[in-house]
Structure 1
Amino acid sequence: MGYFKDILKYEKKYRKYTTLNIVFNILYAIFNVLSVLAFIPVLGILFGTDNSVIKAPIYDGFKSIGRYAKDNFYYFISQKIENEGAVDVLLFICLLTFGLFLFKNLFRYLASYVLAYLRNGIVKDLRDKLYRKIIELPIAYFSEKRKGDTIARMTVDVQEVEVSFLTSLEAIVREPLTVVISLTMMLVISIELTLFVFILLPVSGFIISSISKKLKAKSQKAQKETGNFLSFIEETLTGLRIIKGFNAEKVIEDKFNISTTKFRNLMTSVLHRKNLASPMSEFLGSATIIAILYYGGKLVLENNSPLKAEEFFGYIVLFYTVLNPIKAITTAYYNIQRGEASAERIMEVLNTENSITDKPNAIIKQGFNSQIEFKDISFKYKDAYVLKDFSLTINIGETVALVGQSGSGKSTLANLITRFYDVNKGSILIDGTNIKDVTKKSLRDLMGIVSQDSILFNDTIANNIKLGTQHATDEAILEAANIANADEFIQNLPEKYQTNIGDSGNTLSGGQKQRLSIARAVLKNPPIMVLDEATSALDSESEQLVQIALEKMMQNRTSFVIAHRLSTIQKADTIVVMKKGKIVEQGKHEELLAKKGEYFKLVSMQSLS
């Protein structure tokens, strides 16, 4: 139960609730056993057996403390019967039992009451830690994972841990206490009979544990399959237009059905094993009761037996008091086995090492003063190098554009300069300082990013623009929107800057979304702009509006532009032509055209198209 222990580490913050829960459960267990023991004198009175103890018992040491406590109780009852009569004593015992049951259930409620704070607190902290970890992990981690699987770990797996682990906490704390106290009382009543029980119970435990061996493995497969069909849902919602456009509904539906069928079969197997726990433990418990009835009955029927009939009946009731907690512990064990799979998936994320971290003595970079330098860098995503021994210098105030065919490594450079990925060899320097020696926050504070995909959030226009500048004034937001040519269309919206743009900004056109992305970068007001094919997904009219906005934005800034449409970068100070991760040409627009090399080919192809 290694992962169960990992989850329980989050309990430290709520230690006071754990302590209260244990205290209330101890009191519950004590009153639970006492409420059973109180019936023994009732049976003695009703059946008229002679349990009278005339003399007060004498304490003979710790070994006989159980017999001493029992004789003291019988002495007390004997004195009351002699002084008050059997009927009055019967009423007294009934009222005493009523009080014991009242306190037993009160402490049971209080234990559950404080456990709710512990349980919900752990679940909240677990979700928060997972979310924080997901935000912290590098982009490379998610390029190898399915989104649906990550969502499943944050939702389904956390819920499974809550249901399987945290609901089992009650059983883990309370039931063993009840078993220990009950067994202690059973030893007091009859050592011989209790030793007989100790022989039977391990046999039952072995049978139960053998049934649960495959439960964790099946649960793990089921949770993995949950991630698969959640991925199908996420992909379906994202690509619904393509699915409908290609009449591929049946193909996608069949894939989804295969996944859900596999999940159904796995969960059916898991539930069958889980549901077997309670009937099996009850059957084994009943078999044990029958064995105890025979063995204990023989002891009672023997001449000069120390075990009296009413004590034997009390013993049977006590054993039932032990039986239910053992069943609860068995169920908890099954639940924990099932929850281990989910806990493993959660801890796998939480224990993932972040490969892109700040050094202990990382510098907080203030401002940008001279140049950016890519110095003999090499980088690969998996096996093949995308960039090899690449070098480039960008001076302050320059606009440098990168062009080339798809796969030439242009966007990779944007990912490297922002430290979304780290270079395998070489170094990237800003003002002569390696970016690995600078804190990620201060590095990214120097940069504004406008990507090909306009990433917007289901929020107001104002909140989307000020995403990286939370304390921006309304005047600053308006100025940024004007520079990005966005204010014009914003003013025509129902609630202007307070208009909610929907999921991923789907209520806006591509050009409008991109201009909001530019406004967001402008408001941040960074000295370096990174533009990754910012106009490639737009129509001609939108491209012109966005290009004007980009030109305004790039004024008095150092710009690193990755371009697909060559018409947008003709005014760049330097155009770098890339092919297979290397620079093949470099210069201004007119110079490169005059060479009639790779750049000329690219321009000719676009003009032809």
Structure 2
Amino acid sequence: MSAIKPKSLKKVIQYAKPYQSRFNWVIVWAILLSIFAAARPYLLKQTVDDYLKNHNKEGLLLYVIIMGVVLLLEVLSQFFFTYWANWLGQDIIKDIRDKLFQHITSFKMKYFDNEPVGKLVTRTVSDIESIASIFSQGLFMIVSDILKMIVILGIMIYMNWELTIIVLLAMPILIYATNVFQKKMKVAFNEVRNEISNLNTFVQERLTGMKIVQLFNREKIEYEKFKEINQKHNKAWLKNILYNSIFFPIADFVSSLALGAIVWYGGSQILDGDTSTTFGDLFTYTMLINMLFNPLRQIADKFNVMQMGIVAADRVFEILETDSQIQDKGEVIANRFEGIISFQQVRFSYLKGEEVLKGINLEIPAGATVAIVGSTGAGKSTIINLLNRFYEIDSGKILIDQTNIDDYTIESLRKQIAVVLQDVFLFADTIYNNITLYNDSIQREDVIVAAQKIGVHDFIMSLPNGYDYNVKERGVMLSSGQRQLIAFLRAYVSNPSILILDEATSSIDSYSEELIQNATEKITKGRTSIIIAHRLATIMKADRIIVMDKGEIVESGTHAELLALEKGYYKNLYESQFSIQV
């Protein structure tokens, strides 16, 4: 047990508290199993010495029946022990997985900027399955085996202490081999888990970016990289297999030597007429020695399974104990915003020392449509991320309706802000569910009416099954323009107080853009709207245009006012786009 981290094991066992009764019953079944398993060989000794040797058929039949009953009880104990241990393990990992997923979904966006998705998938799926093995194949099995060994040793000492000494002389060799094996396997299991995580991360990224892989003819390059990672994974498992291949033959050899010594010593005593050893003893010891050494040999393997579960648990708890959540200390419930937005001396940096926003001051009146333009990296999208509290600002204040956004609950804040992004993400689900996102307050009739208003209804109904059409993973069954329309409708039906369009028309065709332009005029009316765009033709009617450059606001005004500025940033940008279009 020295190689098992007690703190880590204790953390895992804490999750068994809601199932304390079942936990206790598993221990009870383990105790009964050890008693019934050890009773059978002892009954065999009695049968051989008292009835078989004396040709007592009635007594022989009685003991055979008793052994049959004990065997049945052992089988039942084994069934309940195995079933309840696995049942407990599965319920525990269900609770851990629920907690882990909830915890991950509350992380700051910065966490996902730095952590590979494949790693998180590994932690949430395969690592948690390994935790279940702590209960199903590790802890309880070890307890059961130890109890069996204690009961069997007690019976052996009671039956024949001389033969038991021979068995005990062999045990230190097995214990030493088990300890060495256990340490080696711990290192091997750590390597296996690391390589599995690397493999998952690589495959996840390449499958997600398969279009890029094929567009740039990287199939062979990525295949060679995969072969290299897969080879490392293979080597890690081969090391695992090698240690098993060495240990178990050694354990079998030691067990066979001990059995041979017992047969020789006990047989010699019987031939010499020494009554301290009987034929029943020899019969029974051939069973007992296997029942004693097999658990000892298997305990090493079960320790390794348990270690693998503990290693996996440490990885999972590392994420569970990661404090990367946005602090949700607000108590104000945002039922509905007027939509007055104020940025006061806001500074922010994704990386320490590299400011993205440099003391931004921005006032947006209620119900106004404000456009933000600027070159890539100017800080436009960062403003949106901060408004939704995806990231924490370095300094300054962001107010909505004269209240600091930190004072609102995150749930109510985000519920009042709808965002349409340039890169639309759709789940592998129906169009209807992608629009409502399982919000029970949005009825199908509401979705249809909204779709008809913005001119999306006909396109949806042209698809097989209409609103129940499954768009598959990431919406691959739809064009980029169609995905954008679905995202726009999703924002529309949520009836937000504040609407944000982040490059929402940059990757769609002219027909879809016309639909969105018409819809934009309808849904921005009466609510505060922020439009981020590279294409200036889409924001000329905005009440106000904010021009950003290198994290600062350099110009502000209407389209006409900004064009009137000689050598203005916006004017140069507009003229360059217009000349390209011409």
Task: Specify the alignment match of 1:61 in structure 2.
Answer: none
Task: Specify the alignment match of 1:363 in structure 2.
Answer: 332
Report if the CA contact (8 A) 1:419-1:440 is conserved.
Answer: yes
Q: How many residues align?
A: 573
Deviation of 1:258 (Å) = 1.2
Report if the CA contact (8 A) 1:398-1:557 is conserved.
Answer: yes
Call closer, same or farther: CA 1:278–1:427 in 2, change over 3 Å. farther
Deviation track 1:511-537 (CA, whole Å, cap 9, x = no partner) reads 221111111111110111122111112
Q: Following the alignment from structure 1 to structure 2, what is the Cα–Cα distance between the partners of residues 11 and 276?
A: 36
Report if the CA contact (8 A) 2:339-2:527 is conserved.
Answer: no
Call closer, same or farther: CA 1:202–1:468 in 2, change over 3 Å. same
TM-score, normalised via structure 1 length: 0.87
Call closer, same or farther: CA 1:317–1:473 in 2, change over 3 Å. closer
Task: Specify the alignment match of 2:350 in structure 1.
Answer: 381
Work out which of the residue numbers 458, 480, 485 in structure 1 matches 2:450: 480
Does residue 42 of the first structure (1) align with residue 42 of the second (2)?
no
Does residue 586 of the first structure (1) align with residue 556 of the second (2)?
yes
Deviation of 1:279 (Å) = 2.6
Task: Specify the alignment match of 1:55 in structure 2.
Answer: none
Of 128-137 and 518-527, more deviation after overlay is shown by: 128-137
Deviation track 1:243-277 (CA, whole Å, cap 9, x = no partner) reads 32322211111111111111111111122223444
Work out which of the residue numbers 173, 189, 195 in structure 1 matches 2:143: 173
Does residue 601 of the first structure (1) align with residue 572 of the second (2)?
yes
Deviation of 1:288 (Å) = 3.8
Task: Specify the alignment match of 1:229 in structure 2.
Answer: 199
Deviation of 1:606 (Å) = 1.5
Q: Following the alignment from structure 1 to structure 2, what is the Cα–Cα distance between the partners of residues 311 and 226?
A: 50
Deviation of 1:303 (Å) = 9.2
Does residue 93 of the first structure (1) align with residue 93 of the second (2)?
no
Work out which of the residue numbers 35, 38, 48 in structure 2 matches 1:33: 38
Deviation of 1:501 (Å) = 2.0
Call closer, same or farther: CA 1:606–1:458 in 2, change over 3 Å. same
Deviation of 1:117 (Å) = 2.0
Report if the CA contact (8 A) 1:515-1:549 is conserved.
Answer: no
Task: Specify the alignment match of 2:538 in structure 1.
Answer: 568
Task: Specify the alignment match of 2:13 in structure 1.
Answer: 8
Call closer, same or farther: CA 1:42–1:171 in 2, change over 3 Å. same
Does residue 555 of the first structure (1) align with residue 525 of the second (2)?
yes
Report if the CA contact (8 A) 1:481-1:516 is conserved.
Answer: no
Secondary structure, counterpart of 2:455 in structure 1: coil
Q: Following the alignment from structure 1 to structure 2, what is the Cα–Cα distance between the partners of residues 555 and 370?
A: 12
Secondary structure, counterpart of 2:545 in structure 1: strand
Deviation of 1:369 (Å) = 3.1
Work out which of the residue numbers 116, 121, 128 in structure 1 matches 2:91: 121
Call closer, same or farther: CA 1:584–1:556 in 2, change over 3 Å. same
TM-score, normalised via structure 2 length: 0.91
Call closer, same or farther: CA 1:23–1:591 in 2, change over 3 Å. same
Deviation track 1:566-603 (CA, whole Å, cap 9, x = no partner) reads 11111222211111111111111111111131111211
| Counterpart residue identity of residue 311, structure 2 | A
Deviation of 1:201 (Å) = 2.2
Q: Following the alignment from structure 1 to structure 2, what is the Cα–Cα distance between the partners of residues 568 and 588?
A: 13
Q: Following the alignment from structure 1 to structure 2, what is the Cα–Cα distance between the partners of residues 168 and 92?
A: 38
Deviation of 1:47 (Å) = 7.8
| Counterpart residue identity of residue 539, structure 2 | I
Report if the CA contact (8 A) 1:461-1:499 is conserved.
Answer: yes
Report if the CA contact (8 A) 2:86-2:136 is conserved.
Answer: no
Work out which of the residue numbers 416, 420, 440 in structure 1 matches 2:410: 440
Q: Following the alignment from structure 1 to structure 2, what is the Cα–Cα distance between the partners of residues 370 and 253?
A: 52
| Counterpart residue identity of residue 607, structure 1 | F
Secondary structure, counterpart of 2:499 in structure 1: strand
Task: Specify the alignment match of 1:286 in structure 2.
Answer: 256
Report if the CA contact (8 A) 2:339-2:497 is conserved.
Answer: no
| Counterpart residue identity of residue 582, structure 1 | E
Task: Specify the alignment match of 1:131 in structure 2.
Answer: 101
Call closer, same or farther: CA 1:186–1:451 in 2, change over 3 Å. same
Call closer, same or farther: CA 1:311–1:218 in 2, change over 3 Å. closer
Report if the CA contact (8 A) 1:164-1:336 is conserved.
Answer: yes
Work out which of the residue numbers 420, 429, 436 in structure 2 matches 1:459: 429
Deviation track 1:292-346 (CA, whole Å, cap 9, x = no partner) reads 5567678878998856564465345333322222222121012223333333322
Mark the runs of 5 or more structure 1 residues left unpaired by the alignment: 49-80
Secondary structure, counterpart of 2:217 in structure 1: coil
Secondary structure, counterpart of 1:456 in structure 2: coil
Secondary structure, counterpart of 1:214 in structure 2: helix
Call closer, same or farther: CA 1:412–1:370 in 2, change over 3 Å. closer
Q: Following the alignment from structure 1 to structure 2, what is the Cα–Cα distance between the partners of residues 501 and 316?
A: 65
Q: Following the alignment from structure 2 to structure 1, what is the Cα–Cα distance between the partners of residues 572 and 366?
A: 30
State how 1:117-516 maps to structure 2 within 5 Å. 117-163=87-133, 166-191=136-161, 194=164, 197-198=167-168, 200-290=170-260, 310-311=280-281, 313-359=283-329, 362-369=331-338, 371-383=340-352, 384-467=354-437, 469-516=439-486
Report if the CA contact (8 A) 1:452-1:532 is conserved.
Answer: yes
Report if the CA contact (8 A) 2:435-2:489 is conserved.
Answer: yes
| Counterpart residue identity of residue 125, structure 1 | D
Call closer, same or farther: CA 1:292–1:334 in 2, change over 3 Å. farther
Q: Following the alignment from structure 2 to structure 1, what is the Cα–Cα distance between the partners of residues 283 and 507?
A: 83
Deviation of 1:551 (Å) = 2.1
Call closer, same or farther: CA 1:428–1:472 in 2, change over 3 Å. same
Report if the CA contact (8 A) 2:485-2:512 is conserved.
Answer: no
| Counterpart residue identity of residue 148, structure 1 | G
Give the fraction of aligned pairs with identical amino acids, expressed as a percent. 35
Deviation of 1:423 (Å) = 0.8
Q: Following the alignment from structure 1 to structure 2, what is the Cα–Cα distance between the partners of residues 305 and 381?
A: 85
Larger-gyration structure (1/2):
1
Work out which of the residue numbers 17, 23, 35 in structure 1 matches 2:28: 23
| Counterpart residue identity of residue 533, structure 2 | A
Task: Specify the alignment match of 1:70 in structure 2.
Answer: none
Q: Following the alignment from structure 1 to structure 2, what is the Cα–Cα distance between the partners of residues 495 and 317?
A: 67
Mark the runs of 5 or more structure 2 residues left unpaired by the alignment: none
Call closer, same or farther: CA 1:306–1:45 in 2, change over 3 Å. closer
